[in-house]
Amino acid sequence: MYPFYKRTLGWLAGFILLFLLVGLVYSSLYTLWQMWVGGLSAELAQQATNAMLNSATGLAWLILLQAIVFISFTLVAMYRLPNMSMNYFLAFAPVSAKNGFWLAGLYVAYLIGQLIIVNWLALDNDAFLHGAAGSRSYFLLIGLAVLAPIYEELFFRGYLHQAWRYTKLRFVGSAVIISIIFALLHGAQYGWVQLGFIFTLSMLLSYARELTGSLRAPIYIHMVNNFLPALGLLFIEAQ
């Protein structure tokens, strides 16, 4: 008994739309607030909004808003599929030591490959966070390393993976399509080479979900992946 994957396409479209709208609504409301309450002109209010969006506090509040919206949206999407229990999607089974070490090795190999390419091409992987560099913001660190991995994995590896895995797409087809969507949703933050990294990471996260039958593995890997650069940018660069 598997989900009707065609029904998930509407929820996917809704997720993408929300992904685009949440930031727009957040920034628009802040601009209006600056104009009405702060008495700023439209131009100055927009400048204040841009500064806020590049700050640690502004980014942290945006991530918190996204987490609230997307976790709620995903749980509703899971609930709305007929004859499917929430446990089917929200699988948090323990990960065996064998699988844990294997996935850790794969992730380290991914990191080494990424570092080689980044150094070779002299890429800047976190340009969108430079406004928060050295801010020592624990709020933003929690947002990047905890909240973002949870809400993204709940939807992509929890909902979409389980909805498409047992269709004609099977594991490889579903993982590739999910990873393409996952990478493209980060297109505003990164260049094409970095999007290739994100696609590869997403394939690893899908494999972790498939191997362990649990959301714990992809969430943990995703958390570590976000934590390492965020820690360096927010705290080490402050030295």
Residues 6+ apart with CB under 8 A from 97: none
**pTM value surpassing 0.85:** yes
Structural domain boundaries enclosing 128? 5-238
| Counted domains in the chain | 1
> What does the pLDDT read at residue 1?
45
Could you read off the pLDDT tens digit of each residue along the chain, which spans 239 residues? Answer: 455 567 788 899 999 999 989 999 999 999 999 999 989 999 999 999 999 998 999 999 999 999 999 999 999 998 887 777 788 888 898 999 999 999 999 999 999 999 999 999 888 766 667 778 888 999 999 999 999 999 999 999 999 998 898 888 899 999 999 999 999 999 888 889 999 999 999 999 999 999 999 999 999 999 999 999 999 889 875 55
Residue type, 70: F
